Amino acid sequence: MNKELTGIEWRSDQWLAQFNGLRPDNVLEYFSQSPFWDSSSNNAVLKMQTQFNDLQQASYDLKSMVGVEFSVTHQEPPSLFVITKFRRASPTKVTPIAVYYILDGNAYEAPSVHSIVSTRALSSIKQVEKAFALARAHAEFHPATGYSWAESNEQKNARKAALKDIQLS
């Protein structure tokens, strides 16, 4: 059910031109046009129910509803808006589900902490694998002497020079 949307960048130049850019009062409307929007969210339900009424009570009514909702949680108009998708269980209990941001009119889904940590861990593991492969290429084994380190003459000279520098210090 949850699609991976972190690789998507969405923008509507036509909408931005029609409404003269993004402002705190229209950013959720802009976001509702994106593929990140959940049409079954409390915001969408409330919008449909109050589209011909006074929208002054919209934020108050959202807090009394249970389900998924979107909220602008940080803003630096006109270039940056952070929108959080919450699951509301009660008027006081909300759990964040996802975070989205709009930067200069481009909407993105922020990656989860899990995906960031797993990507960094995988990258680290790849580097460790490379280091072991390099070490394995220089290790030699002989039944009589066991393991030894194979060095080229250039590496031996560099190691000896480094040892001399250490001894002179």
pLDDT at 81: 96
Relative to beta strand 106-109, strand 146-149 is unpaired
pLDDT at 117: 92
Q: Quick check: 22 and 30 in contact, CB under 8 A?
A: yes
Please state, in angstroms and as integers, the Cα–Cα distance from residue 111 to each residue in 27, 105, 153, following that order: 21, 19, 48
pLDDT in tens, the chain (169 residues): 456 777 789 999 999 999 999 999 999 999 999 999 999 999 888 888 777 766 555 555 778 889 999 999 999 988 999 999 999 998 889 999 999 999 999 999 998 888 889 989 988 898 889 888 888 887 888 888 888 877 778 888 887 888 888 877 6
pLDDT at 60: 57
